[in-house]
Chain A
Amino acid sequence: MSKITKSSTAEYFAKNLQQVGFSSPLKAVLTTLKEAVDNSLDACEQAGILPDLLIEVSKVGTGSTKNTDLIRIVVEDNGPGIEGEDLAKVYGEYLASSKFGRGQCSRGQQGIGISAATTWAQMTNARGVNVISKTKKMRKALAAQVDVDIKSNTGVLKNKETLDWDREHGTRVEFVLDGRIQLNGDGGIVTYIEGTILVNPHMTVTYKLMENDFVTVTRVSNEVPRIPEASLPHPHTFKLGEFITHATLFGKTTLSKFLKTGFSRISDQSIQDFVKKGLPKNLLEKPLTALTEEDFKKVFQAVQNTDLMAPSTKSVLTVGEEALSKSITRLGEIDFFAVVTRKPTICDFKPVVVEVALARFKDRNQSPDSPVTLLRFANRVPLQFDKSGCAITWAIESVNWKSYGLGQPKDSLPLGPYIFAVSIVSPFIKFKNASKETIDASEELVGEIRLALIQAGQKLSRHIKKEVKEADLERKLAHIEQFGPILVEGLARIINAPESRKKKAEEGLRKLLGRDSEEAMADLEAAESKLLEQKKREKKKGIDHDDIEEDVIRGEDLVEEALEPQGTKKTTTKKETTKKTTGKKK
C-alpha cells in the first residue's frame, strides 16, 4: 500500500491555480491585478479611508514559460498599511483572511486570491511579491519580499529592510510574473479598470498601462461606503452536513442556544414551532456534543419544515443611484443614462441587492450593430470571463429590449454603443467556480435582475423616444421645405396658373403642413415632458443629468425656421403656429 500523505493547503492551490483564476497567461495578469486592487479597496473601506490607488501594468521582458511575457504589476494604495508581523500571513499564507465566512459584502472572502498571485509569481519568476507597507504608527516603511513556503503553507519574508516613504500610511505591492496583457474586450485590463471605477465612485485612481500615459480618474463621492454589520446565516440556506459542521464551532453550547445564536431569524417562538414540527423537546437543553448524527438530522428536518422570517436585508450594501449616475460619466462622454438601485430583497434565502446602470456613449468606437458592452459585478468586483453562463447575462437576454428602442437579435444581448452595468451585492453570492467568474443563475435571482433591468429600460426608453420624436419632427419639417414648393409649382405649370394663385396655394400648403408638424411637435413635447418629469424625480434623488435647462423644447423654433419663406419677413402663419404651441404648453 502506498503511503498516504497529507498535503498543505498551499500545496493544493499551487497545483490547482487554474481553479482560482490562473488558467491562462491572460487571466494570470488580470487575476493578480484584481486581487491586489480588491485587497487595497477592502482595506481602505475597513479603515474608513477614501482610497487613492496607483496602478501600473507593463511588459518588462520575455516570460520563462512558452508564449508569455514577463509582466510587472504594481498596485499602491493609501490604506492603513500592514503591520510587519502580518505581511507574511497576508501575502504568503492561504486561507489567512480576516473576512472568511463573516457574512459581509466585502470583495475578498476566503483569503486565497493574493496568496495565489504570490505563488504564481514565485512559480514563474522564482520570486514572490515585493511589498512596501507603512502604518500610521510606523516611523519608517517596511519593505520585503514575501514568498510562499508551499510545504507548510506559511509566508516567508526575505530581504527585509526599512526605508523612508513619503506617505503617512499605505501599501505598495509589486508582482513580476509570466503572463500576457490584453487591454480591451471582455477579458481586458481596461475593461476591468473601467468597471472598478464605475462601482467605486469614492475611489481616485491613477493608472498606466503598457506604454500609454498616466491617466487619473478622480472620485465623485466623498463617502466611504459603510460596510454593514455582518449577518448570521439563515438556517434555510444550510445543508445537513454544513449544519453539523457549523455546530462543532459552538462546542458544548446547548442546542437551543446554538440555534438562537448561531443563526439569524430564530426566536423562542420559532423553537416552539420546531418542536411542533417534530424536534424532540428533550434535545433542546442538551449540549451539542451529546447529540448524535441521528439527533442532528431530526433537528435539521424540523428546522427546514418550519416557516421562518426571511433573512434581514440590512447586511447588503449598495453603491446607490446618485453615486452610480455620477460615476458612469467617468467612463466617457455620454448621451444619456439610466440607473436603478433595487430595494434589498431575498433570493434563495439570501439577502441580495441588484443595481443597474445603462448609458449610451458618444465616443466608444463601437458600431451600432455590435452588442452592448456588458459589465458584470459581484460584490463590486468586475466579472470578466464566461459571461454566457452568468445569471446577469441570462437576465439581460430575457428582456425584450426592442420595446425600449434598442436593437436586439433573438435571445441575445441588445445592440448599440451602450454600457450595461449590472451589479449584485450579497454577503453570500453563489459563484459557479472558485475563481468567481460567473454568478450561478437561480430562477429567483434571474427574476430579480430582470426586474431591475426592466425598470432601467423604461427610464432609458424615455431618452430614446425623445430622440426618435426629434428625428421625426426634423424629417417632417425637411419634407415640407423640400416637396411643398415643387408640388405647387408642378400643379401651377400643368394648368398654366397665374403667379397669384401659386402664391396663395403656397401659403395654404404651409398652413396645412404646419398643422402636421405641430402634431409631430406635440408628440415630441409629450416625450420631452415625460423625460423631464423623470429627470425631476431623479434630481430629487440626487441624480443629475446636467442638461435639464438645455432640454426645453426647441421644436417651435425649428418650425418657424422651416416655414419662413426664404428672404421674406415673418408671415402670419408663423405667428399662428407660435401662439398655438404656447397654448398647448399651458
Chain B
Amino acid sequence: MAKLLSIRELKIDIPKEARILADKMLRDLEASKRPVLEAVKTSLDNSLYNAKVGYLTPGDKVVRTELNVSSVQKLARVVFVLEILLNNLDKGAVNTKRELYYMCKGLIKGNSRLKPLDFDDQPESDAIIDFIGDMLEVYREELNCFANDRGGQTYSQQLVVTETMPDGEKAVVDLSTLGTSPFQPKNKPQALKLKAKKKIDFCLIVESEGTANTLVTMGFTKRNNCIVMGAQGVPSNGVRGWSKLIQEELDVPMYFFGDLDAYTMQNIFRTLKAGSAASLIRNADFSAPNVKFLGVLPEDVKKYDLPHYKVKESDPAEARALKKAKDALENDPFFLDKKNKNLADILRWLIKEKIRCEQQSFFSVDPNDPIKTEKLILEKIKRGSYV
C-alpha cells in the first residue's frame, strides 16, 4: 500500500534508514563494541532562534544512549517499538500513541519472553516513540503515528479547502456552507490546498474556542472577510501545521487573541509563532512566525479598564508560570532576540505587576452591546495595537 500522506518532502527513506541503523548496532555487538544511538537533544539549551528563520531550530547537542547494563532495557524497547512502526509503514497502517501502547501490550502478552519489556503506562511507550522520531529526525506522523489533534476549529465565508485523499480523490470543502459549525483540520497540511473565494483580510486565532464560536455566531465572519480559528489552549500539531499552511498559502496578516498571562505568552503564543523546544525537529512545518499578538495587551487593561486579577503566588501552577517566565527571559532564545523585545517586555511587565487579565474581560467593556468585543478587536487591528 502506498504511503498514506506526507507532511513534507521527506529526504530519507525511513525503513531503509532504520535497517542501516539496526545493521550497525548488530555489527557493533558482533565486534563486542557498544552500540550508540544518538538523537537530537530537544531542550531549550539546544534551541537556536534566528528572527529571519522565525522559529526555534536545533543546535548541535545530541543525546547519546550507549549500550550498558542500565540502558539495555531502553535499547531493547526502542528496537521492539521500531519494529512495530516499520511494520505499520510497510502495511500502510496508522495508529495513535495510545493504540501503539496497547499493540505493544498485545505483542508482549502473546510472547512470554518479551515480558520484561512491558510498559507500565503510556508515558513510557510515548517516550520511546518520541526518541525514535528524534533519532531518525522524522515526524511522528511520518512514522504513521498520529495524535488526536485538539483545537483548530475554523470559520470563514471565503475559505475553500481541497483535500487530496490517500487514494488520489479530492474532497472540496467550502467553509461558508458549514453554517456555525467549524471546519477542523487534521494534522496533514501537505494534503490540503487552500483557496480564497474573495480576498481575505486577516486570520484571527482565538485562544478560547468558546469565544471564537461566540464571535462567529454573532456575525464576525459575515461582516469581515476573514478566517477565525479557535486554538483551544496550547496549540496541537494540527493547529500549528494548519496555521503554517494558512500563512504559506494565503499570506494574510495573522493575529492571536488570548489571555494576558505568562502561561499564554510562553506556552501558547510562543509555540504557535516559533514552535517549542520539545519539537525542535518539526518547528519548520509547525509554526507560523507571522502571527502577531493582538492582545490582551497591558495597554488594553488600562485603556478599557479591564477587570483583572492578582496572580496568586500561593497557587503552585501560577507560581510555576511566573518562575518559568523569569527563566524564559534569561534563557529562551526567542525572548532574548531583539526582534521580539516587545513580547519580552510584556513578560517583564507580567512579572513585575503580577496580574493576569483574561480575553473574555473584553465583554465587560459594554455588556449591553453583544458585538462590542468584535468592535474592539477590529479597532485594535486598525490602530495597529498589536505586538
Contact = CB atoms under 8 A, between A and B. Distances in A.
A508 B114 contact: no
A505 interface: yes
B130 to A, nearest CB: 19
A486 B113 contact: yes
Task: Give the top 10 A-B pairs by smallest Cβ distance, nearest first.
Answer: A490-B79, A516-B69, A482-B116, A505-B29, A508-B32, A487-B76, A483-B76, A494-B22, A476-B69, A508-B29
Interface string A484-506: 11111011111101000100111
25 contacts: A476-B70, A479-B72, A480-B69, A483-B75, A485-B113, A486-B79, A486-B80, A487-B72, A487-B76, A488-B29, A491-B25, A492-B26, A494-B22, A501-B30, A505-B26, A505-B29, A506-B29, A507-B32, A508-B32, A509-B29, A509-B67, A512-B29, A512-B67, A513-B68, A516-B70
Nearest to B79: A490
Most A CB contacts (10 A, CB to CB) among B76, B82, B116 go to: B76
Most A CB contacts (10 A, CB to CB) among B31, B32, B75 go to: B32
A416 B75 CA distance: 36
Interface string A458-480: 00000000000000000010011
B73 interface: yes
A490 B80 contact: yes
A42 to B, nearest CB: 60
Interface of chain B: mostly helix, strand, loop or mixed: helix
B108 to A, nearest CB: 10
B34 interface: yes
A482 B115 CA distance: 9
Given A486-B114, A491-B79, 9 more contacts: A476-B69, A476-B70, A483-B72, A484-B76, A487-B75, A490-B80, A494-B82, A516-B70, A520-B69
B26 A488 contact: yes
Contacts, number: 89
Interface in B1-59: 18-19, 22-23, 25-26, 28-34
Interface residues of B, number: 30
A495 B23 contact: yes
A480 B72 contact: yes
Interface residues of A, number: 30
Contact of B26 (A486, A501, A511, A517): A501
Nearest to A505: B29
A484 B221 CA distance: 61
A517 B68 CA distance: 9
Contacts of A492: 26
B32 A512 contact: yes
Most B CB contacts (10 A, CB to CB) among A491, A494, A507 go to: A491
Contacts of A508: 28-33
Contacts of B68: 512-513, 516
A513 B34 CA distance: 9
A483 B78 CA distance: 12
B346 interface: no
B113 A494 contact: no
Interface in A535-571: none
A517 B75 contact: no
B83 interface: yes
B84 to A, nearest CB: 10
A362 B145 CA distance: 51
B26 A491 contact: yes
B267 to A, nearest CB: 34
A492 B70 CA distance: 22
Contact of B86 (A485, A494, A513, A520): A494
B79 A487 contact: yes
Contact of A495 (B22, B29, B75, B80): B22
Contact of A512 (B23, B34, B70, B82): B34
A520 B69 CA distance: 10
B301 interface: no
Nearest to B82: A494
Contacts of A494: 18-19, 22, 79, 82-83, 86
Interface in B309-330: none
Contacts of B114: 486
Nearest to A487: B76
A512 B25 CA distance: 13
B117 interface: yes
Contacts of B67: 509, 512
Given A491-B26, A491-B79, A494-B18, A486 B69 contact: no
B141 to A, nearest CB: 21
Contact of B70 (A479, A506, A511): A479
Given A486-B80, A508-B31, A497 B26 contact: yes
A506 B72 CA distance: 13
Contacts of B113: 485-486
A514 to B, nearest CB: 9
Contacts of B70: 476, 479, 516
Nearest to A519: B69
Contact of A486 (B22, B82, B117): B117
A516 B75 CA distance: 16
Given A482-B116, A497-B26, A490 B83 contact: yes
Contacts of B28: 508
Contacts of B117: 483, 486
Most B CB contacts (10 A, CB to CB) among A488, A504, A508 go to: A508
A511 B31 CA distance: 10
A504 B30 contact: yes
B216 to A, nearest CB: 50
A92 to B, nearest CB: 65
Contact of B19 (A485, A488, A495, A506): A495
Nearest to A517: B69
A521 to B, nearest CB: 11
A497 B24 CA distance: 12
Interface string B158-196: 000000000000000000000000000000000000000
Contacts of A493: 83
Nearest to A502: B26
Nearest to B18: A494
Most A CB contacts (10 A, CB to CB) among B18, B29, B72 go to: B29
Contacts of B76: 483-484, 486-487, 490
A559 to B, nearest CB: 11
A486 B19 CA distance: 17
A327 B286 CA distance: 72
